[in-house]
Chains A and B, each alone.
Chain A
């Protein structure tokens, strides 16, 4: 059998498994928004662990990281910093968000922020930022999926058709089984992608160089420019290192698909355990990515699309079955994030916009169907973006994270009681300034003084939020007691006693 048939067949078998899981999840689902959107708030450690890591690591980690090591060298090992920060943020922030979500039945991030800041304008602004910037993330996954199936089929299935097939499958099992289907498929995807990237990288290292140590030696001999900062193209300056660390940790956590995972945990202890242990998975996945990217730069130089280095190497050097299994793992990496983003955006648009402003007081079944229609619409937008624009996957993710990062002052204001809290006017003014600065520092004058535009925007956003809050009206005493009081009861029980 020809290699492309084996590789493509294995990917399609994998897709079939995800659809079956979606159908089974649908049988278990009740007509209830909390069940459909939040897994009934009863996700235990193992399910939550695998869904968080599978969602965090996407086509960006599986394909994009190899591409970045390939082009910019060892500087991408900075990736470890943001995976560690993700763990620490989950450890500190996760239990707080979970406690508030459980006590006040929040479903989306905007629910929490609008409640605390007593403002529908805050709800709409947060919903818009959440959706607009995560749509870029849909593009990242769709683009990655297109690369994978295009390479696996040996160019017989075009990038456009491949992207469409995989987007439709992800949307199908999401529409069928809601977040339960997403979590169940994430469990398989999380394990599959981790094993696949390690097996693939080690196979290539031994096949092409005789082992990882020989790979490093060969990189040293042939491409020493890849082994020093800021890298051959001068990308990893200190400012970029710090900027990527912040935008790809806080910026990803504050996206709705990650924040909503905190709401779904069965208890706060599960989230602390999650925070302490997720970096083990997240960080160690970049070790094989380094081998693939750096080794690929020696073995297959001059690739037009560096993000394709892993599948191209596999197809050129690995046996067809192994290539198929690993590319199915890459598909898993992209789909596990894609389904989560589609789900989160569906939740935000259904709950924060449609249910509140367009058609309130309708039955749960009605909202479930509207949610499904929204997934279909998002699918079209993601598809069009992915086939019309191209960029480094890592660049797109960083842009997406920079936008969500602008929610940070508002979220910190809710989750950490301070002597003088932020106000709705302060938060909105800060967000507005942050987004304007983001545009200037990413598009007009990219990364002034070498510091990432997302960080410039966050700094000015925070300054404006604090200054404006100092002279505007705080949330009412009742709201402060209700929300910060809940945090004190849950997080500092010894103080509240």
Chain B
């Protein structure tokens, strides 16, 4: 469930309406790219956490 909830952050409408801000940059990289990298990393974290918990 946690995976699915976080996964939704990498799906429309978040991708197309919230993260898609070509004028906003974080440390020289577009916001869109950074935010999705953070979401993807969080999803990997959820999978590893599930493995450790034995889910």
* Residues on A facing B (Cβ under 8 Å): 74, 77-78, 80-81, 83-85, 87-88, 91, 213, 216-217, 220, 224, 227-230, 238, 241-242, 245, 272-273, 275-277, 279-280, 283, 287, 290
Contact = CB atoms under 8 A, between A and B. Distances in A.
Contacts of B13: 238
Contacts of A229: 15-16, 20, 32
Contact of B11 (A81, A220, A277, A279): A81
A216 B28 CA distance: 7
Contact of B7 (A84, A228, A238, A283): A84
Contact of A276 (B7, B22, B37, B48): B48
B15 to A, nearest CB: 6
B5 interface: no
A88 B12 CA distance: 20
B50 to A, nearest CB: 7
Q: Of residues B7, B16, B29, B47, which shows the largest number of chain A Cβ atoms within 10 Å of its Cβ?
A: B47
B47 A279 contact: yes
A238 B12 contact: yes
Contact of B44 (A78, A87, A290): A87
A227 B44 CA distance: 25
Contacts of B16: 229-230, 238, 241
Contacts of A277: 44, 47-48
A281 B12 CA distance: 24
Given A229-B15, A242-B11, 20 more contacts: A74-B30, A74-B33, A77-B36, A78-B15, A80-B40, A81-B7, A81-B10, A84-B44, A87-B44, A87-B47, A88-B43, A217-B28, A227-B32, A238-B13, A241-B15, A241-B16, A275-B51, A276-B50, A279-B44, A283-B40
A280 B32 contact: no
Interface string B42-54: 0110011011000
Interface residues of B, number: 27
29 contacts: A74-B30, A74-B33, A80-B39, A81-B7, A81-B11, A81-B40, A84-B43, A84-B44, A87-B43, A87-B47, A88-B43, A91-B50, A213-B27, A216-B28, A217-B28, A227-B22, A227-B30, A227-B32, A228-B22, A229-B15, A230-B16, A241-B11, A241-B12, A242-B11, A242-B12, A275-B51, A276-B44, A277-B44, A279-B44
A229 B16 CA distance: 6
B54 to A, nearest CB: 9
A213 B47 CA distance: 30
Q: Interface centre among B7, B25, B30, B40, by most A CB within 10 Å?
A: B40
A269 to B, nearest CB: 9
A84 B11 CA distance: 12
Contacts of B47: 87-88, 91, 275-277, 279
B15 A88 contact: no
Nearest to B12: A238
A213 B29 contact: yes
B20 A228 contact: yes
Contact of A213 (B22, B28, B37): B28
The winner among B12, B36, B39 for most chain A CB atoms within 10 A is B12
Contact of B3 (A77, A88, A228): A88
A215 B53 CA distance: 41
Nearest to B52: A276
A272 B27 CA distance: 35
Contacts of B12: 238, 241-242
Contacts of A227: 22, 30, 32
A279 B40 contact: yes
